[in-house]
Chain A
Amino acid sequence: NAGVMQNPRHLVRRRGQEARLRCSPMKGHSHVYWYRQLPEEGLKFMVYLQKENIIDESGMPKERFSAEFPKEGPSILRIQQVVRGDSAAYFCASSLLIQKREVSTGELFFGEGSRLTVL
């Protein structure tokens, strides 16, 4: 039973290029989250998606960043015209959402991350 799969594990881009990060959730999970982690910092929420829907993108920069989770295939985090400040580890997590009382929750299972380096 494969866990959350992310690729590539390492990606090097020059300033101005595009970066595409892919995430396949755990089998049966239909909720995907993207987080960014800068060196020596915690995980910063970027976006929460369900199949074909963006539920919460409050953590996504307004420009250059986009995310999708199509009906078929992996979730994609796309960064256009990368800058050095985009260098970070990008983690994807998936969950099976559980409704408990008035709160929707569920354990997040994380992938190993994609480490982007912008030269």
Chain B
Amino acid sequence: QKEVEQDPGPLSVPEGAIVSLNCTYSNSAFQYFMWYRQYSRKGPELLMYTYSSGNKEDGRFTAQVDKSSKYISLFIRDSQPSDSATYLCAIQGAQKLVFGQGTRLTINP
């Protein structure tokens, strides 16, 4: 079983739609949960960072963590074409980040 599972998509939605991206993980010892965004041919950049179960909001983005289900989500409201990218969940292991496969998202104008 992979430590972090993420549906690779691709996911294509119209502009303005609400997007839901999800990951599951297997190790209950993981404590820090992150979402990175990666544009084509670029390095990943940190989007959101959470520690505890619950929701964290930053503008149009909401990160949600459910430790009891080992499930994390990223919601994007009022999606824009500029949100088109690959979104990777990342979970803090002992001394390194473990990444999901990444979901390729396209927002169509």
- A residues whose Cβ falls under 8 Å from a Cβ of B: 4, 33, 35, 40-45, 48, 55-56, 91, 93, 100-101, 103-105, 107-113
Task: Check if B95 sits within 8 Å of A107, measured CB to CB.
Answer: no
Total contacts A-B at CB 8 Å:
55
Interface SS of chain B: helix, strand, loop or mixed?
Answer: loop
- B residues whose Cβ falls under 8 Å from a Cβ of A: 6, 8, 31-32, 34, 41-46, 49, 51, 88, 92, 94-102
Interface SS of chain A: helix, strand, loop or mixed?
Answer: strand
Our pick among A100, A103, A104, A108 for the contact of B46 (Cβ within 8 Å) is A108
- Chain B residues with Cβ under 8 A from A108's Cβ? 46, 97
Given contacts A103-B31, A112-B43, contact A42 B101 (CB under 8 A): yes
Docked complex Cα distance between A42 and B32 (Å): 18
- Chain B residues with Cβ under 8 A from A35's Cβ? 99
- Chain B residues with Cβ under 8 A from A44's Cβ? 99
